[in-house]
Amino acid sequence: MSEKTLVTFSKMHGLGNDYIVIDESNKIIIPEEKKPEIVEEICRRGFSVGADGVIFVTPASSDIADIRFRIFNSDGSEAEMCGNGIRCFVKYVYENDIFHNDQMLVETLGGIKEVDLDVEGEEVRASTVDMGVPNFKTTDIPMISDKEEFLDSELIVKGKPVKITAVNVGNPHAVIFTDNIQDIKLNEIGPLIENHPAFPQKTNVHFVNIINRNEIEMITWERGAGFTFACGTGATSCVMAGFKLGILDEEVEVHLPGGELLIIVYEVDNEVRVFMEGESVLVFDGVMEIEI
């Protein structure tokens, strides 16, 4: 027998990539088996609050982390990691006194992420996320290929070759560099690559125009969500792909439909790591009635 319950939430966005944030740090609000279905309902624009996904604040399952980040796409599928989402998450956690520290170790399905918060007064103005070590091995992306790394290589998409660089930055990405980003029919080619048999867990898809070695513009078809105004892990993957191919430098400003992100590549202890800087915004707090 289902029953209706009131759920307190916050609507937030990072560069237009918008999320509903629900606090489950003290108790489970939405039962686990109901999460995919209810997330899909909540995210339906025009019929509910509407969002690209739902973020849950939960206790860390590891002694190493301070707090746990869970994110579900608008189609109800759970994702490993989200750059814009995690910036919204840490702002919410800090400003609601769930974990009041300007440095956080956040547990995600894509690994533990270290985040530094830029706090002014009691407001988080921006945050820098250590996105970790990018992984280009096809077996780890995962991608079905006879290549160890899929770098600027041809993937046949609906009978036509598309040059793709595949990388995992906590979740899978396909990066396509192009001089004609305005001509890309994202709603057509995005789903074809997202659901390509070469990607058994699907993939995020990005088209990138290089302005210069320190500046790019990109558009995104996000796995499980479709077009989004911004994608933090996507910006990270695009810069890292360009750096790996030798066409971008270590510090790159990324122009997305929703705004700008700064991506910085560092070498730390003989490992290449990527850091993302950007803002997040609280749109409003609210209460919604859901049936569980």
Residues with a known catalytic role: 82, 231
Q: Are 248 and 216 in contact (CB under 8 A)?
A: yes
User: In the structure encoding, which two tokens stand for residue 46, read together?
Assistant: 């025009």
Amino acid at 112: I
Q: Helices (DSSP H) in the chain: which residue ranges?
A: 35-43, 83-95, 186-194, 232-244
Question: How much is the CA Rg of the chain, to the nearest whole Å?
Answer: 19
E strand or H helix that includes residue 261: strand 259-268
Of the candidates 104, 102, 101, 58, the one whose C-alpha atom is nearest the C-alpha of residue 78 is 58
**Residue 46, class by beta-carbon neighbours within 10 Å (0-12 exposed, 13-18 middle, 19+ buried)?**
exposed
DSSP state of 179: S
The identity of residue 33, as a single letter, is: E
Separation CA 53–CA 88 (nearest Å): 12
